[in-house]
């Protein structure tokens, strides 16, 4: 969608909002079983900063949905210059059955790249049309993990927060500003008596790292595709025997965090609005593979002791808190996808990437990969560990190809999706028919300018 179209959409939304007494009830799509995905508009519809709150991707996470509903009921203390759209229930079918997945067994928060679910197709379409500057993804995390309970520990933090981690994502806020963003949320929670931490995962072996770098979740997926600042907001899911008081504590903490994010969105408004939306430039370097490395310092985390219920600090020496890029590529002018690969083109269309069909016989400079050898991925959804490529440049006509220029919103995402050496490539999905086969040409071409 062009800027002009986006403005038109914006005006249409605005007039629709003004013409209704109450701002509730825009339907942006339907679940597999035809439950509406209902959006509620909050704040001044002429405000410059747009924030999209999405709760309930996982149908069994109750408190997050309730916190989003509470934001609708009491919105806006200290919030300036922000309008919000709140989707309290992104997975109504899962919520009805109290299951994490949707009706088809799809984990919606692992579906932001492959868009297999109708729910995600509708939600992405809304994001593309409304173009929020900030997207808050609301979840609940389990307070008891078996391997931690075995060490006598249960989760103590009321809220965990995080921002995008994939290194190809370019955001309006600098790393320092993102840290400030997270720190301010956490300080505000603390001043009200709630504990929080940046989102970390503790493995059974005691290794700790931040959230995944994969682009299948809302946090990385939507930030990479649309350049929005995404914020993951995980509230502690109490266990049943903790009762209503503990559940209420989580809801209040998540509501507080939501309000704090909205306030910050207003404060960072000018910077957020200035974002170019991850538009690519030819020759620009895009990371397509990375890993977490050991940080210099150990990480201390607070836990509640299973037996005594006291809160104590546990030090994890193996804190993988440092992200290291291990492979990067230079962007071509465009990627050319054979029209014969219909499944792949359909998916890129679902993602809303602009493209055109080459219709001239004129030869252009292209680069083609030859796959010399490849260690097959262990299973669908995974990337081969090793792949050896040779490239050769030539002049060739592009009839029979769909051309996806990288000078568009999310242009950098095209490299992450389409490069054969990407650890996050669409070749991971068997149904897209993009296998990496030894002794063959990779079907997607890099189109070089001039
Ligand atoms: Zn979740």
DSSP 361: -
Measured in angstroms, how far is the CA atom of residue 234 from the centroid of ligand 1?
Answer: 7
Contacts (Cβ under 8 Å, ≥6 apart) of 379: none
57 C-alpha to ligand 1 centroid (Å) = 6
Find the 386 Cα to ligand 1 centroid distance in Å.
32
93 SS3 class: helix
Q: What percent of the chain has pLDDT over 90?
A: 82
* Structural domains of the chain, with CATH: 3-324 (3.40.630.10), 331-447 (no CATH)
140 CA to centre of ligand 1 in angstroms: 5
249: which 2 tokens? 């504590």
Q: Give the pLDDT of residue 365.
A: 96
Confidence of residue 24 (pLDDT cuts 50, 70, 90): low
Is the confidence at residue 23, as pLDDT, over 60? Answer: no
How much is the pLDDT for 160?
Answer: 97
The tokens of 95 are what?
A: 């919520």
Question: In angstroms, what is the span from residue 56 Cα to ligand 1's centroid?
Answer: 7
SS3 content of the chain, % helix, strand, coil (to 5): 30, 30, 40
pLDDT of 4 over the 80 cut: no
Does position 429 have pLDDT exceeding 70, yes or no? yes
pLDDT digits (tens, 9 = 90+) for 38-51: 999 999 999 999 99
Distance from Cα 100 to the centre of ligand 1, integer Å: 7
Residue 99 Cα to ligand 1 middle (Å): 11
| Cα 139 to middle of ligand 1, angstroms | 4
Quick check: pTM over 0.85? yes
Give the DSSP letter string of 179-248.
Answer: HHHHHHHHHHHHHTT--EEE-EEE-TTS-EEES---SSSHHHHHHHHH--EEEEEEEEE--GGGHHHHHH
61 CA to middle of ligand 1, Å? 6
How remote is the CA of residue 219 from the centroid of ligand 1, in Å? Answer: 12
d(Cα 119, Cα 54) in Å, to the nearest integer? 12
Give the distance (Å) from ligand 1 centre to CA of residue 107. Answer: 9
Structure-token match 């090793």, residue found: 386
Note whether 165 and 182 are within 8 A (CB): no
Question: Which residues, 6+ apart, have CB-to-CB distance to 63 below 8 Å?
Answer: 140, 235, 237, 238, 247, 250, 251, 254
Q: What pLDDT is stored for residue 143 in this prediction?
A: 87
Distance CA 402, CA 336 (A): 6
pLDDT of 36 strictly over 50: yes
Looking at the DSSP bridge assignments, the partners of residue 299 are 316
Average confidence (pLDDT) over 159-169: 96
Span from the CA of 430 to the centroid of ligand 1 (angstroms): 25
The rounded distance, in Å, linking the Cα atoms of 51 and 265 is 8
- Rg of the chain taking only CA atoms, in angstroms: 23
User: What is the whole-number distance in angstroms between the Cα of residue 74 and the centre of ligand 1?
Assistant: 24
pLDDT (tens digit, 9 = 90+) per residue, 178-201?
A: 999 999 999 999 999 999 999 999
How much distance in Å is there from the Cα of 60 to the middle of ligand 1?
A: 8
Distance 321 CA to ligand 1 centre (A): 22
Instruction: Look at residue 383 in the predicted model and tell me its pLDDT.
Output: 83
pLDDT of 118 over the 50 cut: yes
Quote the ligand 1 centre to 59 CA distance (angstroms).
8
Mean pLDDT computed over 12-16:
43
CB 193 within 8 A of CB 178: no
Q: How far is the CA of 75 from the centre of ligand 1 (A)?
A: 23
Calpha distance 118→21 (Å, rounded): 30
Distance CA 231, CA 159 (A): 12
| Cα 328 to middle of ligand 1, angstroms | 30
| pLDDT score of 12 more than 80 | no
Give the distance (Å) from ligand 1 centre to CA of residue 110: 10
Query: How much distance in Å is there from the Cα of 303 to the middle of ligand 1?
Result: 21
Instruction: List pLDDT tens digits, range 216-257.
Output: 999 999 999 999 999 999 999 998 888 899 999 999 999 999
List C-alpha distances in Å: 216 to 20, 31, 416.
36, 19, 12
pLDDT band at 89 (very low <50, low <70, confident <90, very high): very high
**299-305/285-293 β-pairing:** unpaired
Over residues 407-423, the mean pLDDT reads 96
The CA distance from 131 to 50, in Å, is: 8
Q: What is the mean pLDDT of the chain?
A: 91
49-55 and 82-87: which strand pairing? parallel
Ligand 1 centroid vs 223 CA: distance in angstroms?
18
Report the separation in Å between the CA atom of 20 and the middle of ligand 1, taken as the mean of its atom positions. 33
**In angstroms, what is the span from residue 235 Cα to ligand 1's centroid?**
9
Average pLDDT rounded to a whole number, residues 209-218: 94
Whole-number Å distance between alpha carbons of 223 and 60 = 25
Q: How far is the CA of 101 from the centre of ligand 1 (A)?
A: 10
Residues 332-350 have pLDDT tens digits of 999 999 999 999 999 999 9
């Amino acid at each position: 969608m062009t800027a002009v179209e986006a403005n038109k959409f914006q005006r249409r939304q605005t007039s629709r909002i003004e013409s209704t007494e109450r701002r509730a009830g825009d339907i942006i799509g339907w679940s597999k079983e035809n439950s509406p995905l209902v959006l509620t508009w909050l704040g001044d519809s002429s405000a410059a900063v747009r924030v999209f709150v999405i709760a309930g991707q996982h149908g069994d996470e109750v408190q997050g949905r309730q916190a989003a509903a509470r934001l609708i009921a009491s919105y806006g203390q200290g919030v300036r210059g922000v309008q919000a759209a709140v989707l309290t229930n992104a997975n109504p079918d899962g919520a009805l059955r109290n299951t994490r997945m949707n009706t088809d067994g799809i984990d919606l928060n692992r579906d932001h790249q492959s868009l297999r679910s109708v729910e995600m197709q509708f939600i992405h379409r809304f994001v593309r049309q409304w173009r929020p500057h900030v997207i808050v993804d609301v979840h609940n995390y389990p307070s008891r993990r078996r391997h931690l309970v075995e060490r006598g520990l249960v989760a103590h933090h009321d809220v965990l927060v995080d921002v995008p981690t994939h290194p190809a994502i370019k955001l309006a806020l600098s790393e320092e500003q993102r840290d400030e963003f997270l720190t301010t949320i956490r300080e505000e929670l603390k001043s009200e008596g709630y504990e929080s931490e940046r989102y970390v995962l503790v493995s059974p072996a005691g290794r700790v790292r931040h959230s995944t770098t994969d682009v299948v979740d809302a946090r990385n997926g939507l930030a990479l595709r649309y350049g929005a600042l995404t914020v993951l907001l995980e509230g502690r899911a109490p266990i049943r025997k903790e009762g209503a008081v503990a559940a209420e504590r989580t809801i209040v903490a998540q509501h507080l965090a939501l309000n704090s994010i909205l306030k910050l969105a207003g404060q960072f408004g000018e910077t957020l609005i200035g974002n170019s939306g991850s538009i690519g430039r030819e020759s620009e370097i895009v990371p397509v593979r990375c890993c977490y490395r050991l940080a210099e310092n150990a990480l201390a985390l607070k836990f509640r002791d299973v037996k005594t219920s006291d809160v104590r600090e546990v030090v994890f020496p193996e804190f993988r808190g440092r992200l290291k890029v291990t492979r990067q590529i230079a962007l071509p002018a465009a990627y050319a996808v054979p029209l014969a690969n219909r499944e792949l083109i359909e998916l890129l269309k679902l993602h809303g990437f602009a493209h055109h069909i080459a219709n001239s016989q004129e030869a252009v400079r292209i680069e083609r990969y030859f796959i010399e050898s490849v260690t097959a991925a262990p299973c669908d959804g995974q990337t081969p560990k090793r792949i050896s490529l040779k490239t050769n440049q030539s002049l060739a006509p592009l009839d029979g190809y769909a051309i996806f220029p990288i000078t568009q919103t999310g242009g950098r995402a095209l490299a992450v999706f389409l490069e054969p050496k990407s650890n996050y490539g669409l070749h991971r999905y068997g149904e897209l028919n993009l296998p990496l086969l030894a002794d063959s040409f990779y079907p997607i071409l890099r189109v070089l300018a001039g």
